[in-house]
Amino acid sequence: MVKNTYMRWRLPFVCLLWEVAMIILFGVFVRFDPEADAHWKEEQRQKNLTSDIENDFYFRYPSFQDVHVMIFVGFGFLMTFLQRYGFGAVGFNFLLAAFGIQWALLMQGWFHSFENGKILIGVENLINADFCVGSVCIAFGAILGKTSPVQLLILTLFQVTLFAVNEYILVSLLHVKDAGGSMTIHTFGAYFGLTVTRILYRPNLEQSKDKQGSVYHSDLFAMIGALYLWMYWPSFNSAVSNHGDAQHRAAINTYCSLASCVLTTVAFSSLLQKKGKLDMVHIQNATLAGGVAVGTSAEMMLTPYGSLIVGFLCGIVSTVGFVYLMPFLESKLHIQDTCGIHNLHAMPGLIGGIVGAVTAATATEEVYGKEGLISAFDFTGDYKDRTPSVQGGFQAAGIFVSLAMALAGGAIVGAILKIPFLGDPADENCFEDDVYWEVPEDEESSLYHMHDPTLKPVTS
Amino acid sequence: MVKNTYMRWRLPFVCLLWEVAMIILFGVFVRFDPEADAHWKEEQRQKNLTSDIENDFYFRYPSFQDVHVMIFVGFGFLMTFLQRYGFGAVGFNFLLAAFGIQWALLMQGWFHSFENGKILIGVENLINADFCVGSVCIAFGAILGKTSPVQLLILTLFQVTLFAVNEYILVSLLHVKDAGGSMTIHTFGAYFGLTVTRILYRPNLEQSKDKQGSVYHSDLFAMIGALYLWMYWPSFNSAVSNHGDAQHRAAINTYCSLASCVLTTVAFSSLLQKKGKLDMVHIQNATLAGGVAVGTSAEMMLTPYGSLIVGFLCGIVSTVGFVYLMPFLESKLHIQDTCGIHNLHAMPGLIGGIVGAVTAATATEEVYGKEGLISAFDFTGDYKDRTPSVQGGFQAAGIFVSLAMALAGGAIVGAILKIPFLGDPADENCFEDDVYWEVPEDEESSLYHMHDPTLKPVTS
Amino acid sequence: MVKNTYMRWRLPFVCLLWEVAMIILFGVFVRFDPEADAHWKEEQRQKNLTSDIENDFYFRYPSFQDVHVMIFVGFGFLMTFLQRYGFGAVGFNFLLAAFGIQWALLMQGWFHSFENGKILIGVENLINADFCVGSVCIAFGAILGKTSPVQLLILTLFQVTLFAVNEYILVSLLHVKDAGGSMTIHTFGAYFGLTVTRILYRPNLEQSKDKQGSVYHSDLFAMIGALYLWMYWPSFNSAVSNHGDAQHRAAINTYCSLASCVLTTVAFSSLLQKKGKLDMVHIQNATLAGGVAVGTSAEMMLTPYGSLIVGFLCGIVSTVGFVYLMPFLESKLHIQDTCGIHNLHAMPGLIGGIVGAVTAATATEEVYGKEGLISAFDFTGDYKDRTPSVQGGFQAAGIFVSLAMALAGGAIVGAILKIPFLGDPADENCFEDDVYWEVPEDEESSLYHMHDPTLKPVTS
């Protein structure tokens, strides 16, 4: 079947429409948070802050920049492993994230930072917008190489919206803690993406099977993405935690979990391959599962050894998922998951939700201190009588809500993306940059052409 | 024409001469700022600082490191897009920047941090030195592939000098605000570089036309540079702003402008190409124009939606510049601009100067607060009676001063670079690393050789 | 000789054994530092801290993240210069560092953070663990391409142990200052690695000579590693210095030394090559020697011009080492040093130790201030009567202790690594990823295969 992938009018139309809408909505709604406003000096006196260094900017900006790198370089380059889809991986990730952060500032702003008809944004909002877009980058991983940029912009619009609703239910209605987003980002993003790719199932995708692998250098580019995700994950999980000990603790727990995860990933990558050789796909992905799985609990008193145990298990689960579960999902359930997000985000995200629920449920005044317990779980105001075990129950409920939102939302958005005229590629053109990008003719390709055996050889 | 590109005596001579001069001048002039000096404890008491965290180091060091990455990896890798000039792009950028920051510490120190015969340096000086060198990296973009390392070191010496003079006129004499350097860095650097490349015009450059394109992997390397510039630009524009709300605000404005810019770049990249396909050159460059264009105004109350509008326009201007203006500049005005700095830095820089002038001129006490207005524009001492509208006029004057300095300085320096014996490459060797670098024989190349159709084939 | 490099049982066994041991030991010993513990609020009141920002996290976390990038991306990618060992370089570095940081937290913890039977860890411990692993990454550079992952994990276990002992002798017994680790990290790590590679000498290594070179793109990947090391080295040398002026000063000194080092490296790279062309190996490595050589003295009053002089000399020493000393070491002393760590870490490390001793010995109250001198060298408690010149003597002793520990330790560990069954590659398979990794068949390789001259050609 010939598909029309001509983007010249459709893509500019959507980009410009989306962006004009952003400008109008920002004009009506978005203003600076008091800490970023020129009236700050007066504000500061009211709050009795003795120094400019107590501006939230200095507590969070370094973490923000790390998260920013994870979204744009981390996710972008992690997906460059495909031999001829590097432009699409980095470039479309760039496009959807740049749009998504704007829409996320609005959606999350209406729910969480809306005061007197205005959304007031500061550095914490920027981090949360990046987080929200992270869930879209995850979903993109499942459909990588099989959709047009127009489809991706539509997906982003809807997924960000649903993310904000889900986050509002969890954080504001259920009073759930999820600073590193095991539930809101990973579980939601991954099951959403898996549902979308299920709806967009392509029975004849084996026509582009030869392009689904990597080449030597594309695997090295992907390692750039993988390592930046791995290195900055402590910043990701601690970025929006409470000032002081909570941020400090979240970084340490995540550091430990990730370190442990690398060893079990390597062990099982070798163990599950007949020749005992390591597989770059596992090293690039399963080593990150430890970061996903402490997303909820990192800011709690999970303890360093607790983190090591979580990382230990997730390296195994994720690697086993790549080897055994992924082929099963494709052949039996018709879920074509390009990057294996089921192994890196879905299962570890669920584990992260469960670990968070258990860690919360077992919190005691002895371990946290009286003040510490109240502060860690924000047992104040309406929630001042909530106990740790009740909190654990609500945490568990958060997992199911995220899962339900992801499945229902993914089904609807998947159906929307099946609308014709959105410019998706034909089965034989999947995983191929040439469809949407001006691709330079390479030395190698020109060489290839020169020696094309079907051409009349010079010497005959 | 055969050119002598033998560097063995000339390059070491210049490097060693330059560096010995640095050591002597640093020995005579440069000392630590009080906040970096071992006497700090006593200083601290005098300033009534209650904690070590109030050392300027903690306000600015994270931003400094981000700026540092932009200069060395950002600019360096952005220029690796050429198929066989990656060593020169990254390596010469490294060389000129490493020299330039030393000379900038001196030049800017004499103008701004000179006390009792000594230049006192701290973290803010390091940032400003990196900024100054940024303007040289920009100019390098115009002449990329067409000059020898000796020419680049001479260029750096003169451009840093002129940068410091221009910056002194703007910041100290005109009392102009330009924290992110739309005028001092981008306008000055770009028009300086464009003038130099005009003077060095090569009528027969089409002899190396085949090497002016990219290959698949070189475009991915360039995306590393592009993304790091894009991600860290909020740090660039906020790095030397006032502590507290000004830094906070500058980061938010830049974040917004850059996000918006990506969407219009993608829209116009597709729209202006017959087949509607995206062009990597635009994605790598025009997406950054939004950061350039809020360089002056980011620390002011530009507001998030104002930033979105600036980014929106600059994505369009920059992409249109790549498609229509660049060929015109080359064919009609004989300006051979390798990286397209006219589109990324020159035009957006001018826009940035204008946006800054307008934002300053329209500032009110209502928006900034009484204290906030004084603090934002430093209306103290000699300038305590200056009004926003007068400030706007001076801001506008700053644009013209920068432009004039760039054109005059570029003409002089371009003429100096025409001196024979500086080792520039012949027209047919431009954009080719092999001239100045030991280049490894690649698998591909050796393969190429093996199958060279001009060789006697094994089978005949 | 045929070697058995089958990893399927051996590698998983070691990984799982090591990691289970970590979990048990962490469970018994490791807890959060008070600043990362939920009891922090109460702690804070006791310490009279007025704000959360005075948590050590905010003093050190940005530097920690920079150091983290240096270990995993910096060292990892620096070693990708080999044409077919990129997976091993980045991947094995990842593996050994992920294990090493856990074991280092324990070893260093027992020596330095052991209270009431527990090791209390905070952000400073994370930095020190990364530092310790840095010395293993250095040693890995000497044996790169010639060992199995099992050997590397054994090496890491022993080297981390010895590192911690050596560090304890220097820092706690001799009261030596070495914040950037010229002695503890570089001298120790490099001579340890050189001794190991001497013990593992392979007389027939020329069988894999063709794979010891780089290709064009592998050199660009290596530049990513080199630049990140270069850019973040100011964070490395300042990360664990005293709060305030010491951190500030350490960053400035390192910045200056590194800048200077680039110019002399370029000068001598060109000067020592007949055709005067620059060699990427020098640019990637010798430019970093300036950072190594101010490791001990950066936090002292070395002064900016002092730093320039150190960098100046080290660029020369390191480049000369690559050109003249390295072939000598291989042919005469049978030291096969894959990455040239003798030039980048060993010699500059020794210089760094000496510079540190001299800088300490010549410290005066005039330069440091009375309080500053006590604070800079921690002349309190048992050491309150120590004078700068005595301190200089102890600093010098530290060099010899590090060297002795490295040589003795390297000899023992080298002997251990000669145990059969550890799976090292045959001489003809060194520097080849294919031994331990699933390597994708590349376009190029498949092309190569298609045109293999030994195959029957289509046209005959």
C neighbours by CB contacts (3+ pairs under 8 Å): A, B
Q: What is the mean pLDDT of residues A45-61?
A: 90
Interval B253-309: pLDDT, tens: 999 999 999 999 999 999 999 999 999 999 999 999 999 999 999 999 999 999 999
C118 forms beta bridges with C115
Interchain pair B304, A26: CB under 8 A:
yes
Q: Are strands C114-115 and B114-115 parallel, antiparallel or unpaired?
A: unpaired
Do the Cβ atoms of C280 and B437 come within 8 Å?
yes
Nearest residue on chain A to C451, alpha-carbon basis: A451
3-state DSSP call for residue A164? helix
Query: Which residue's structure tokens are 């992690």?
Result: A78
Which residues of B288-408 form beta strands (DSSP E)? Answer: none
Strand partners, C119: C30, C114
Average pLDDT, chain A: 94
| Nearest CB partner across the interface for A19, out of B249, B264, B274 | B264
User: Which of C52, C56, C223, C446 has the highest number of chain B CBs within 10 A, making it the mutation to test binding with B?
Assistant: C223
What DSSP designation does A168 have?
A: I
Determine, yes or no, domain membership for B141: yes
Question: Distance from first CA to last CA of chain B, Å, rounded?
Answer: 39
Q: Kindly state the DSSP code that residue B47 receives in the 8-state scheme.
A: T
Contacts of A256 in chain C (CB under 8 A): 26, 102
When pLDDT is cut at 50, 70 and 90, the band that residue B1 belongs to is low
Tokens 């009141």 sit on residue: C45
Report which of B249, B256, B260 is spatially closest to residue B298, judged by C-alpha positions.
B249
Taking CA atoms, C164 is separated from A14, A258, B227, C71, in Å, by: 59, 23, 39, 18
A positions 288-317 inside 8 Å of C (CB): 301, 303-305, 308-309, 312
Question: Would an 8 Å CB–CB cutoff place C447 in contact with chain A?
Answer: yes
In a domain, C235, yes or no: yes
Query: Among partner residues A220, A308, A376, which is closest to C23 by beta-carbon distance?
Result: A308
**Smallest CA–CA distance from A250 into chain C, residue:** C36
Distance from CA of B10 to the nearest CA of C (A): 9
B122 contacts chain C (CB < 8 A): yes
- What's the pLDDT score for residue A1? 56
A245–C36: do the CB atoms touch at under 8 Å?
yes
Per-residue pLDDT of C353-401, as tens digits, reads: 999 999 999 999 999 999 999 999 999 999 999 999 999 999 999 999 9
**Listed range (A5-9, A146-150, B455-459) with the worst mean pLDDT:** B455-459
In a domain, B116, yes or no: yes
Chain A contact probe: residue of B82, B220, B279 with most A CBs at under 10 A? B220
Cα atoms found within 13 Å of the Cα of residue C441, Cβ hemisphere only: 7
Nearest-CA distance from B279 to chain A in Å?
A: 5
Q: Which residue of A has its CA nearest to C225?
A: A224
Lowest-pLDDT range, A200-209, A219-228, B351-360? A200-209
What letter does residue C214 receive in the DSSP assignment? B
Residues in contact with C316: Cβ distance below 8 Å, sequence separation at least 6, in sequence order: C264, C265, C267, C268
What angle in degrees, to the nearest 10, is found between the helix axes of C56-69 and A245-271?
30
pLDDT exceeds 90 at position A361 = yes
Q: Cβ distance A433 to A208 under 8 Å?
A: no
Domain that holds residue B226: 27-36+57-420
Query: Which of the four pLDDT bands, split at 50, 70 and 90, describes residue A66?
Result: very high
Share of chain C above pLDDT 70, in %: 95
What does the radius of gyration of chain C's CA atoms come to, in whole angstroms?
23
Nearest to C355 by CA among C287, C387, C307, C305: C307
Query: C388-417 and C370-377 helices cross at what angle (nearest 10)?
Result: 20
Distance (Å, whole) CA A250 – CA C446: 47
All residues of chain C having their beta carbon less than 8 Å from the beta carbon of residue A458 are none
A436 touches chain B (CB under 8 A): yes
- Ranges of beta strands (E only) in B309-443 are none
- The pLDDT assigned to A460 comes to 32
- How many of the other CB atoms lie within 10 Å of CB of B115? 11
Q: Do C12 and A231 touch (CB under 8 A)?
A: no
Q: Which of residues 217-256 of A touch C (CB under 8 A)?
A: 217, 219-220, 223-224, 227-228, 230-232, 234-235, 243-249, 251-252, 255-256
The alpha carbon of residue B264 is apart from the nearest alpha carbon of chain A, in Å, by 6
Q: Does B459 touch chain A (CB under 8 A)?
A: yes
Structure confidence at residue A458 as a pLDDT band (50, 70, 90): very low
Distance from CA of A11 to the nearest CA of C (A): 31
| The total number of structural domains that make up chain A | 1
Q: For residues B403 and B397, what is the distance between their CA atoms, to the nearest angstrom? A: 10
Nearest residue to A308 via CA among C25, C119, C111, C69: C25
* pLDDT tens readout for residues C232-283: 999 999 999 999 999 999 999 999 999 999 999 999 999 999 999 999 999 9
pLDDT surpasses 80 at A450: no
Work out the minimum CA distance from C309 to partner chain B, whole angstroms. 7
A444 part of contact set with chain C, CB < 8 Å: yes
Q: What are phi and psi of C455, to 5 degrees?
A: -80, 155
What is the SS3 assignment for B121?
strand
Does pLDDT of C199 surpass 80? Answer: yes
Please list every residue in chain A whose beta carbon sits closer than 8 Å to the beta carbon of residue B448.
443, 447
The Cα of B223 is separated from the nearest Cα of chain A by a number of Å equal to 8
Cβ pair A5, A424 in contact under 8 A: yes
DSSP assigned state of C440: P
Amino acid identity, position C336: Q
C342-345 contacts, C-beta under 8 A, 24 or more apart: C342/C142, C342/C190, C342/C194, C343/C285, C343/C286, C343/C289, C343/C317, C343/C318, C343/C319, C344/C141, C344/C190, C344/C285, C344/C286, C344/C288, C344/C289, C344/C292, C344/C318, C345/C138, C345/C141, C345/C186, C345/C187, C345/C189, C345/C190, C345/C292
Secondary structure class of A91 (helix, strand, coil):
helix
Read off the tokens for B280. Answer: 């990597």
pLDDT at site A183:
98
> How near does any CA of chain C get to the CA of A144, in Å?
20
User: Average pLDDT, whole number, for chain C?
Assistant: 94
Long-range contacts of residues B320-328, Cβ cutoff 8 Å, at least 24 apart: B320/B268, B320/B272, B321/B286, B321/B347, B322/B279, B322/B281, B322/B282, B322/B285, B322/B286, B323/B268, B323/B272, B323/B273, B324/B272
Output the DSSP codes for B396-410: HHHHHHHHHHHHHHH
Chain B segment 30-89 residues within 8 A of C by beta carbon are: 30-33, 35-42, 44, 50-53, 55-58, 61-62, 65, 68-69, 72-73, 76-77, 80, 84, 86-87
A242 belongs to a structural domain: yes
Cross-strand bridge partners of residue B208: none
Indicate whether C222 belongs to any domain: yes
**B268 closest CB neighbour out of A12, A126, A451:** A12
Q: Is the dihedral of CA C223, C224, C230, C236 positive or negative?
A: negative
Q: From C23, C17, C14, select the one nearest C105 (Cα to Cα).
A: C23
Q: What are phi and psi of A82, to 5 degrees?
A: -65, 140
Specify the 3-state DSSP secondary structure of C31: strand
pLDDT tens digit sequence for A174-223: 999 999 999 999 999 999 999 999 999 999 998 888 899 999 999 999 99
Q: Are C226 and C288 in contact (CB under 8 A)?
A: yes
Q: Do A23 and B305 touch (CB under 8 A)?
A: yes
Q: In B40-114, where does DSSP find H-type helix? A: 40-46, 56-69, 75-78, 86-112
CB pairs under 8 A between A and C: 244
| Beta carbons within 8 Å of C327's beta carbon, 6+ residues apart | none
Cβ separation B444–A440 shorter than 8 A: no
Tell me whether residue A454 is in a domain. no
Average pLDDT over residues C10-24: 97
In a domain, A445, yes or no: no
Q: Which of B248, B312, B369 sits opposite A42 (nearest CB)?
A: B369
**Chain A closest-CA separation from residue B416 CA (Å):** 36
Comparing A431-445, B163-177, B299-313, C200-214, the range with the smallest average pLDDT is A431-445
pLDDT tens digits for B81-138? 999 999 999 999 999 999 999 999 999 999 999 999 999 999 999 999 999 999 999 9
Residues of C in contact with A246 (CB under 8 A): 38
The pLDDT confidence band at residue B155, using thresholds 50, 70 and 90, is very high
Domain for residue A457, yes or no?
A: no
Nearest one of C127, C94, C78 to C227, comparing CA atoms: C78
**CATH value at residue C97:** 1.10.3430.10
Cα gap C445→A443, rounded to integer Å = 14
φ, ψ for residue A276 (rounded to 5)? 70, 15
What is the per-residue pLDDT for B47?
A: 80
| Closest residue to A12, CB basis, from B234, B246, B271 | B271
**CB of A409 closer than 8 Å to CB of A159:** yes
